[in-house]
Amino acid sequence: MIAWPAVAVFVLLFALVTVLGFWGASWRSGDLGLLDEWALAGRRFGTLVTWFLIGGDLYTAYTFIAIPALVYGQGALAFFTLPYTAIVYPIAFVFAPRFWTVAKKRGYITFADFARERYDSRMLSLAVAITGILATMPYIALQLVGIQVVIAAMGLGGSGAARDLPVIIAFVILAAYTYRGGIRAPALIAIVKDALIYVTVIVAIIVIPAKLGGLAHVLASADQLLHARPKPSGILLAPQAFTPYVTLAIGSALALFMYPHSITAVLSAASANVIRRNMAVLPAYSVLLGFMALFGYAAIVAGIHPANSSRVVPDLFARMFPPWFAGFAFAAIAIGALVPAAIMSIAAANLFTRNVYREYINHACTARDEAANAKIVSLVVKLGALIFVLFAPVSYAIDLQLLAGGWMLQTFPALIVGLYTRWFHRNALLAGWVVGMILATALPVSQHFVSVYPLHVGGVTVSAFAALYALAVNFAVAAALTLVFDGLKVPRGKDLTVPSDYRDDGSLDDSPLVYRK
């Protein structure tokens, strides 16, 4: 049955952000015919806008759906996402301002631009670009899945065309304002999205436990029910889960700012100090994430039995809230999908344009050719994600996304280590990347796409995040072959960057709260 009050509130809020999205093209306008302006807003976002943009980019609609669903299904293990988001910001605090500085001075739009000049290697740059595009596609698809499940929770799911039409409409709107306004559109929408999410979570963490007998009762009851399942778990981590928990947290933290959309949001900041401030305050989102994770336990106690795991939170909200506020919450989740989906499509378009199109197809393209091509590619990327959602099984999309972090982690030696040293040989890094990508794919696939792999060593089994095993082999191959290639006098290529490119001397530091003119 269609919940019309929920639909009315949902449509009203969706219309509001649509207007904001189209207005974004004229907000602090620049020449959107240039890639630097369309994709990065001229690198002029201040501390406040950058906070909303990076937060809206990293904490996606699917984060607010998938984490509670994982808690609902597996209990305590799912909480690896909390230490992971605590670990990632100190790491980014160190390297992200350094990358922003060299990118600003050298005019980089992508990580692959850095790889091209740092190592004088077209192939290594292409490898970074391919990895980024490959990992981004299923991520965009999952944002559309987030919209799909909240629409279904309002009774608009249906089947066939009736199920797909609302998602198609959302896609068309997203595609139109991203094409027109570039990153300015999701930056504006992120402000509204965060306000809606915070209101929803604050209300939910008060109302839902109160209706279920209090938070202590929710936790105690969830623990009993989890232990009673055919595959028992609980709200406390079992000893055999310690290693998977720790390695998932560490590996995910190392991978997060490898993603193209993450670094695109970082590069739109006005200065290195803007980034440092944001890495200091972004952990506030982790508090929000912790509350959202608890909704997985609440769904267990409330007797929610969703048609699929993605429906846990929408079904819980539909049961616990009056229809009008459920519509408000559903709009928050759906709008939360639009921000990262827009930035992801822009980031993928940047990679293709700068590191495939300009490098291999049209080396003589102008700055305006770049921007025009990126706009078109951003549409193609979103269309591919839409087709994936409409015609591929949702479970397959989720499984594929689990591989994405492992893939991005294989670029860590070339990119993050490369910010501080050029000791690794470019060919050795490429070989390490190949081996790492093969392992980061093969190990989860051998476990039916489960990202934790049990490694048997001398009669001892160590279960850990498969991508970290792949990264260790990646580093080992790169280190060994560096010695071999240097011994054989294989050319290293010319490093086009210079030490002063990495130095934050304050000459680029103009750090407004909102936007630099």
Asked if 393 contacts 386 with a C-beta cutoff of 8 angstroms, the reply is: no
For residues 150-163, average pLDDT: 73
Asked if 317 contacts 153 with a C-beta cutoff of 8 angstroms, the reply is: yes
Res 236: pLDDT? 94
For residue 473, how many C-alpha atoms fall within 13 Å in the half-sphere facing its CB? Answer: 15
Per-residue confidence band for 289, with pLDDT thresholds at 50, 70 and 90:
confident
Q: Give residue-wise pLDDT tens across range 240-262.
A: 999 999 999 999 999 999 999 99
Distances (CA, A) of 409 to 169, 229, 466, 473: 34, 34, 11, 12
Sorted by where each begins, the domain ranges of the chain are 4-227+256-399
Distances (CA, A) of 316 to 207, 306, 356: 12, 9, 45
Res 221: pLDDT? 96
Res 511: pLDDT? 61
Give the closest residue to 147 by CA, choosing from 419, 307, 340: 340
Asked if 267 contacts 40 with a C-beta cutoff of 8 angstroms, the reply is: yes
For residues 6-32, average pLDDT: 86
The string of DSSP letters for 78-128 reads GGGHHHHHHHHHHHHHHHHHHHHHHHHHHT--SHHHHHHHHHT-HHHHHHH
Give the closest residue to 430 by CA, choosing from 446, 444, 411, 456: 411
Which CATH number applies to 4-227+256-399? 1.20.1730.10
Cβ burial of 59 (10 Å; 0-12, 13-18, 19+) is buried
Rounded to two decimals, the pTM is 0.92
**Alpha helices, DSSP H, located in 302-393:** 312-320, 323-352, 367-391
Res 67: pLDDT? 87
Name the phi and psi angles at 515, rounded to 5. Answer: -155, 135
Q: Give residue-wise pLDDT tens across range 88-142.
A: 999 999 999 999 999 999 999 999 999 999 999 999 999 999 999 989 988 888 8
Res 130: pLDDT? 96
Res 163: pLDDT? 66
Asked if 138 contacts 404 with a C-beta cutoff of 8 angstroms, the reply is: yes
Q: Give residue-wise pLDDT tens across range 390-426.
A: 776 655 555 677 788 999 999 999 999 999 999 999 9
Strands 452-457 and 460-465: antiparallel
**Alpha helices, DSSP H, located in 215-322:** 215-227, 242-256, 260-267, 272-281, 284-301, 312-320
